[in-house]
Copies of this chain bind each other. A is one copy, B any other.
Amino acid sequence: MAELAGNLLVAQSGGPTAVINASLAGVLQEAGRHECIEEIYGGLNGILGILNEELIDINEQKARTIDGLRYTPAAALGTCRYKIDFKKKPEQAARDMDRLFEVFQAHNIRYFFYIGGNDSQDTSHKIHLEAVKRNWDLRVIGVPKTIDNDLPHTDSCPGYGSVIKYNAATVMEIGFDVGGMATDDGSVCIVEVMGRAAGWIAAGTALAKRSAACPPHITLLPEVPFREEKFLARVKEVVEQNGYCLVVVGEGLKNEKGEEIGADRTRVDAFGHPVLSGAAEALGDIVEAKLGTKTRTVKLGYAQRAAAHFASATDANNAYACGVAGVKGAVEGQSGFMVKIVRTTGANGAIQWSTGLQPLGDIANVEHFIPRDWIAEDGFLPNEKFFEYARPLIEGEVKFPIDSGLPKYVALEPAKIEKKLPARA
């Protein structure tokens, strides 16, 4: 494959993670090593910023800042939820695609990296196909990112190891708290975690279990339909045994009819509209009403995916390696692939991490769930197969500088590239 000279554009998309910037650092630092890559641009707020020709100049950034991305959470370039939607909005999508290639051509973009989850891989795939169709020599590589861990073909998704490391530590700590306060009357604590329709994050908190009596006692995974009676019986049993019960619930938990828990509530807002409460609140109400046990809830929300202060070094290193591998692959002539993480377990059990490339067409719109045989028969906890998989992902801690007692994260300079096109219509 002939060497392709030109500029590089990288952008981030979707919900941020503790290590999405580590992938960005990987792309940027590797890009600096290749002469064929001339200018290096970052697109602000994903595809949306690119459509608006909002690009920043990475060569104006300090090397120290780029290095700091390896421990800085959330999307330093900004992200978006904008989707080029050929199915529902074909005309808008066609206009967007035209505009995107106008931007690529105006700035001689020959390398395009999009760091994101399912939707973003789909976008990358479409851009790759368009480039071929339009005969614009462009190397497109998707870099995986999602705390939800639901991308197929990769061992794991950058962001996942860190979210479960932080969440497991948090559940362990909450367990010490609730366990220490449990007296005769017993108590229940319900912790809601993210993960949408997949239970990977909820299951990951079970890494906190040092023994059967340790919390979490129940992990409610969206993969297993919720059955109220069975759940209440289990909570009652655990409270009788331990004095308390710590439950972790994945936000996307559904009942046997496929309805989300927390969505069938009779709660109304100031305007009389029904309001959807979270799964933890809904379950807390059920436990208090049916078992009469004091129940507290925790909703970690965005805190969990941004918790760089207790991120997994394994995860951050894999995230960085994905960025590096993407650039290497593109320089070598590859396009239309997503970087994937590959795990090799040696004879002594030692794990080696490497990367590979998977055609984007295999990724887009495929969701990867926890296999049923990785979950205990009663559905309430993951089993050893899951633990074997998840344990290595939380190894090691990311180091970060501290200033006046708090993490000192970095921010990119808003060194914007001069626009060359008329404003987007």
Contacts and interface: CB of A to CB of B under 8 A. Distances in A.
Interface string A65-82: 000000011111111111
A189 interface: yes
Interface in A266-317: 266-272, 275, 277, 281, 285-286, 289, 296-303, 305-310, 312
B271 A281 contact: no
A24 to B, nearest CB: 11
A173 interface: yes
Given A299-B297, A404-B391, A177 B289 contact: no
Contacts of A302: 174, 177-178, 189, 296, 298
Contacts of A207: 404-406
Nearest to A393: B405
Nearest to A170: B303
A48 B396 CA distance: 41
Contacts of A81: 181, 183
From A12, A73, A176, A405, name the one whose CB has the most chain B CB atoms within 10 angstroms. A405
A56 interface: no
A79 B180 contact: yes
Contact of A307 (B170, B272, B404): B170
A269 B296 contact: no
Contact of A407 (B78, B169, B272): B169
Interface of A: 12, 15-16, 45, 48, 72-82, 165, 168-170, 172-174, 176-183, 189, 191, 207-208, 265-272, 275, 277, 281, 285-286, 289, 296-303, 305-310, 312, 391, 394-397, 402, 404-407, 409
A213 to B, nearest CB: 11
Nearest to A392: B405
Contacts of A309: 169, 173, 310
A298 B180 CA distance: 24
A396 B406 CA distance: 9
A60 to B, nearest CB: 19
A391 B48 CA distance: 39
Contacts of A15: 181
Contacts of A277: 267, 277, 281
Given A16-B181, A409-B176, A303 B298 contact: yes
Q: How many copies does the complex hold?
A: 2
A72 B269 contact: no
B285 A275 contact: yes
Contact of A308 (B73, B173, B270, B297): B173
17 contacts: A16-B176, A48-B183, A74-B176, A74-B177, A76-B180, A77-B180, A78-B183, A172-B406, A174-B303, A178-B302, A191-B303, A207-B406, A208-B406, A266-B269, A270-B289, A297-B299, A391-B405
B301 A297 contact: yes
Given A16-B177, A277-B281, 19 more contacts: A12-B180, A72-B176, A74-B176, A78-B183, A80-B183, A169-B407, A173-B307, A173-B407, A174-B301, A174-B306, A177-B302, A178-B302, A189-B301, A207-B404, A266-B269, A269-B285, A270-B285, A298-B300, A396-B405
A306 B267 contact: no
Contacts of A169: 309, 406-407
B305 A75 contact: no
B312 A405 contact: yes
Contact of A74 (B74, B179, B394): B179
A86 B11 CA distance: 65
Nearest to A45: B183
A404 B409 contact: no
A268 B270 CA distance: 13
Contacts of A300: 298, 300, 303
Contacts of A305: 177
A75 B179 CA distance: 9
From A170, A191, A303, A397, name the one whose CB has the most chain B CB atoms within 10 angstroms. A303
